[in-house]
């Protein structure tokens, strides 16, 4: 999500060295035999990556043409072939964003990275996980997710992707297309990347018939969209959603109004010439994103518009109506999702939320239900700490119970495996540790247990053990559609009985199946509200 995306992106970028050295080229392979494990022949040309003892890595591979010039705010077009050997030893630029990281950004950014297990002759094709990065649809990139653990321990192929962000990815100005064919360019990029995986991943040792889409935060919101988007049908066989507030997506009319105001703010005021005006602006003038959704005064999002040609329906409504793809789903949230955003609010303002502000902020978020939420989450229940009460209310109302309702709806047609990440001592980046309250198992902190990212204290031995268990669960789900971990508790699906709601509680003192997720997050209360958040 927006504000946290900047901090999280900087945290991940700080520790994403991949290691591994590409060997000296000796011969050019063909598709019949791997003469050189560091070289892959794709339909568009040869690419040389890095080879280490327990993985191979090919970076910066184009999956679409550069969306520049007349292709700005157009659907992604196929990439051009290249001559000679393409250098896949380093990632491509991040897509344009307001980032505090040190990486290059630019419009020519539609590339992906492929992590594979070591090449073995006559080996079976590996299942594939396509990871869609988070960042509020305004920050982030695929290369900051070091996937070595997933590949070496789980024996899967991992593809991490870039997609257009912010203004260049989601501006929905009416002049940019006819009718509902505006906006959602970043979502279309993700679909193009999935088509690239379908057509090319076998060359890297992946099985195009066993593709799982996965993501966290905005990445999980994207997965929600692909579950209901017509253009995504058939491009994956399973889905993973981590901490995705999938309801926080605006409709086309809202995004068009905001986009008109945005265009005017950058000097393109005439609707008749706005498209030409916008396309001639330097990309740097468009780095500030349009904000379509806000969660109180803590965070904002850009992102996909519902009611468009690419995303005709609201994903949460479509899932509730049973109109989502019938695929196995792994879905979950973190115990203390919103404490990170509350901590960022504290760092921005230099003070905690006051008791007088509390009702107003909750009303901003929950509208007419705000008063009921204040009564149900009194600070007295949280040792008198307004920040903790605020965090608990938004964790439950925006994250936990939305995911719970989606899981309940999805299980009517497919196997669903639900989890809660509940390591209250999960390492957090330094700025968050300065907040005067514990952030606990907050938004995004589970990522360090799956990917080799840093920016925080190292995992303890017990946390490293939990990391290994989570990698087993995740990669077995990618492989078989069922999460399993050797020597760990069996993970039952939600099944068809509404009274039976087993959740896997992921904890360093021993993961376990629990049945009180809905009660502990006050989901019956949220279901009783008029807004039914």
Q: Is 259 a catalytic residue?
A: no
Q: Which residue has the tokens 């912010």?
A: 166
Catalytic residue selected from 99, 147, 217, 442: 217
| Strand ordering across the sheet containing 45-48 | 39-42, 45-48, 85-87
Q: For the packed helices 339-349 and 2-13, what is the interaxial angle rounded to 10 degrees? A: 90
Instruction: From 322, 385, 293, select the one nearest 3 (Cα to Cα).
Output: 293
Instruction: Give the sign of the dihedral formed by CA 2, CA 3, CA 8, CA 10.
Output: positive
Q: Is 98 a catalytic residue?
A: no
E-only strand ranges, 314-415: 329-334
Within the chain, how many helices (H) and strands (E) appear? 17, 18
Q: Are 46 and 86 in contact (CB under 8 A)?
A: yes
Q: Is 122 a catalytic residue?
A: no
First to last CA, the chain: 18
Catalytic residue selected from 337, 408, 420, 446: 337
Q: What angle do CA 522, 525, 526 make, to 5 degrees?
A: 90
CA distance 217 to 242: 6
Residue 259 dihedral angles phi and psi, to the nearest 5°: -70, -35
Catalytic residue selected from 18, 126, 226, 443: 443
- CA dihedral angle for residue 424, residue 427, residue 431, residue 435, rounded to 10 degrees: 20
Residue 446 dihedral angles phi and psi, to the nearest 5°: -75, -15
Q: Would you please indicate which residues are annotated as catalytic (active-site) residues?
A: 217, 337, 443
């Amino acid at each position: 999500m927006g504000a946290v995306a900047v901090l999280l992106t900087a945290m991940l970028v700080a520790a994403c060295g991949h290691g591994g050295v590409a060997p000296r080229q000796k011969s050019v392979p063909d598709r019949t035999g791997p003469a050189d494990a560091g070289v892959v022949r794709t339909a568009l040309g040869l690419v040389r990556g890095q080879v280490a003892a327990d993985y191979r890595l090919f970076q910066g591979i184009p999956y679409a043409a550069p969306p520049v010039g007349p292709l700005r705010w157009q659907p992604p077009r196929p990439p051009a072939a290249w001559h000679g050997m393409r250098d896949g030893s380093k990632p491509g630029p991040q897509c344009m964003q307001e980032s505090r990281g040190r990486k290059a950004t630019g419009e020519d950014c539609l590339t992906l990275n492929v992590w594979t297990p070591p090449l073995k002759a006559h080996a079976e094709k590996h299942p594939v996980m396509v990871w869609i990065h988070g960042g509020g649809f305004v920050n982030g990139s695929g290369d900051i997710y070091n996937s070595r653990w997933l590949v070496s321990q789980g024996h899967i192929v991992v593809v991490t992707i870039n997609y257009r962000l912010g203004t260049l990815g989601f501006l929905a100005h009416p002049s940019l297309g006819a009718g509902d064919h505006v906006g959602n360019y970043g979502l279309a990029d993700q679909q193009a990347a999935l088509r690239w995986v379908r057509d090319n991943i076998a060359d890297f040792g992946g099985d195009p018939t066993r593709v799982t889409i996965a993501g966290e935060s905005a990445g999980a919101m994207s997965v929600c969209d692909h579950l209901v988007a017509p253009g995504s049908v058939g491009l994956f066989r399973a889905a993973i959603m981590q901490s995705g507030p999938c309801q926080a997506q605006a409709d086309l009319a809202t995004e068009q109004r905001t986009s008109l105001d945005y265009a005017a703010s950058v000097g393109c005021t005439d609707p008749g010439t706005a498209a030409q005006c916008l396309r001639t602006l330097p990309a740097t003038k468009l780095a500030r994103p349009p904000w379509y959704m806000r969660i109180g005064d803590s965070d904002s999002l850009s992102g996909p518009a519902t009611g468009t040609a690419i995303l005709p329906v609201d994903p949460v409504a479509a899932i509730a109506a049973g109109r989502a793809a019938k695929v196995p789903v792994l879905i979950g949230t973190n115990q203390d999702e919103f404490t990170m955003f509350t901590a960022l609010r504290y760092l921005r303002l230099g003070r905690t939320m006051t008791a007088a502000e509390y009702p107003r902020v909750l009303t901003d978020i929950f509208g007419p239900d705000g008063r009921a939420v204040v009564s149900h989450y009194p600070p007295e229940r949280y040792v008198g700490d307004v920040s903790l009460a605020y965090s608990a209310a938004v964790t439950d109302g925006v994250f936990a119970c939305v995911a719970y309702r989606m899981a309940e709806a999805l299980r009517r047609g497919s196997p669903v495996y639900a989890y809660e990440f509940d390591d209250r001592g999960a390492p957090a980046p330094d700025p968050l540790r300065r907040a005067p309250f514990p952030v606990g198992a907050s938004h995004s902190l589970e990522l360090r247990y799956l990917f080799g990212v840093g920016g925080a204290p190292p995992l303890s031995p017990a946390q490293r053990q939990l990391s290994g268990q989570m990698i087993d669960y995740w990669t077995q789900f990618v492989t078989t559609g069922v999460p399993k971990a050797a020597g760990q508790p069996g993970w039952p699906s939600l099944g068809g009985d509404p009274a039976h709601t087993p959740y896997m509680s992921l904890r360093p003192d021993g993961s376990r199946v629990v049945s009180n997720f809905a009660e502990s997050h006050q989901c019956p209360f949220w279901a009783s509200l008029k807004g039914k958040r």
